[in-house]
Amino acid sequence: MSQKQCCICFFGAIRSLPQTIDNIKEVIQQFRELYDVTIFLHTWKGEDFKLLEPDYYRTTDQQEQFKNLEVPEYFTRESISNRIRGKMDDKQKKWFDDWLIKTKDKPDYYITTNYATYSRKQVTLLALSKIPNPELVVYIRPDTFFKTIDIPFLLKRFNRNSKRIQIITPDFNNGYWDKETERTKEDKTGKRGTNDRFAICLGSSAAKVYGSQYDHIDDVLKEKIYPIGEAVLDWVFNHYNVVNIRSPMCLYLMRTTGKKIGFCKGDKRVWND
């Protein structure tokens, strides 16, 4: 067995795990064939994570940790509505108003971004405290279902002679969008967003950068960028001059009902549920 170390890190809510666990284990097995793999997890107290069988884990009381968290006034639904509604035509206004009604009981993206990035930071700290110098650190959200992924092929895309920080993420052209005009290779514009459901970091330095997103939410807010997870990740990649290696794979967000959200080439587009 190879002695090269690979940390696989899971973070966030575990609700969809019964629907994704078999698929995720197939991905883990691809790494096990190449590396000594250690599984790490951070999640919230009360979540049932046993199916992942982590070697090390931490849990946090979400309500206690974020009891004072409030959406900044500039990014409240009312503030956003007041700024942009006047620029819309009647059709856009109807869509926007319907969206506001449909999502009124859902947590604001600012809140969920804090949850996800905090959890990602905690699992990074845990992993690097146990294995300080892994060759790879892999991040997977437990509600991710992979339609296609070839780990040996992806790992060949790293330039191991480079001193720059390198991180593999899903290529949107082979994932959530299927138009060539929407493809970007190394996106530092923030226009397209960066998929934050899965990543392979080359070495501990790359993992520390990827795991730092929570620490930079205020920096994103100062630039008046709406702090969804992908926008925060874009900011971090730009700030640290990361080589974002967009790579071919296709994955979905899996609901607890078993419904797959997103689309791959050849799929019917089912983003909205």
Residue 12 has pLDDT above 50, yes or no: yes
Q: Say what the pLDDT of residue 264 is.
A: 67
Q: Is 172 helix (H, G, I), strand (E, B) or coil?
A: helix
CATH number of 5-69+118-261: 3.90.550
* Per-residue pLDDT tens digits for 118-138: 999 999 999 999 999 999 999
- Indicate the range of 58-67, 145-154, 175-184, 254-263 predicted with least confidence: 175-184
Q: What whole-number distance in Å separates Cα of residue 247 and Cα of residue 171?
A: 5
Quickly tell me which residue has 């959530």 as its tokens.
176
Of 134 and 231, the one with more pLDDT: 134
First and final C-alpha spacing in the chain: 44
Phi and psi at residue 41, in whole multiples of 5°? -150, 135
Residue 45 has pLDDT above 50, yes or no: yes
Q: What whole-number distance in Å separates Cα of residue 214 and Cα of residue 113?
A: 8
The confidence band for 243, taking pLDDT boundaries of 50, 70 and 90, is very high
Q: Say what the pLDDT of residue 268 is.
A: 58
Instruction: Tell me the sheet residues that pair with 7.
Output: 38, 137
If you average pLDDT over every residue of the chain, what do you get? 86
- Domain range list for the chain: 5-69+118-261, 72-107
The confidence band for 175, taking pLDDT boundaries of 50, 70 and 90, is very low
User: How, if at all, do strands 243-247 and 166-170 pair?
Assistant: parallel
pTM of the predicted protein model: 0.87
Give me the helices (H) in the chain, please: 17-32, 62-65, 77-84, 90-102, 109-130, 151-155, 203-210, 217-222, 229-239
Q: What whole-number distance in Å separates Cα of residue 168 and Cα of residue 137?
A: 11
Between helix 203-210 and helix 109-130 the angle, nearest 10°, is 150
Residue 178 has pLDDT above 80, yes or no: no
- What is the token pair recorded at 208? 């520390």
The confidence band for 192, taking pLDDT boundaries of 50, 70 and 90, is very low
Of 76 and 136, the one with more pLDDT: 136
The confidence band for 146, taking pLDDT boundaries of 50, 70 and 90, is very high
Compute how many other C-beta atoms are within 10 angstroms of the C-beta atom of residue 195: 22
Compute how many other C-beta atoms are within 10 angstroms of the C-beta atom of residue 24: 22
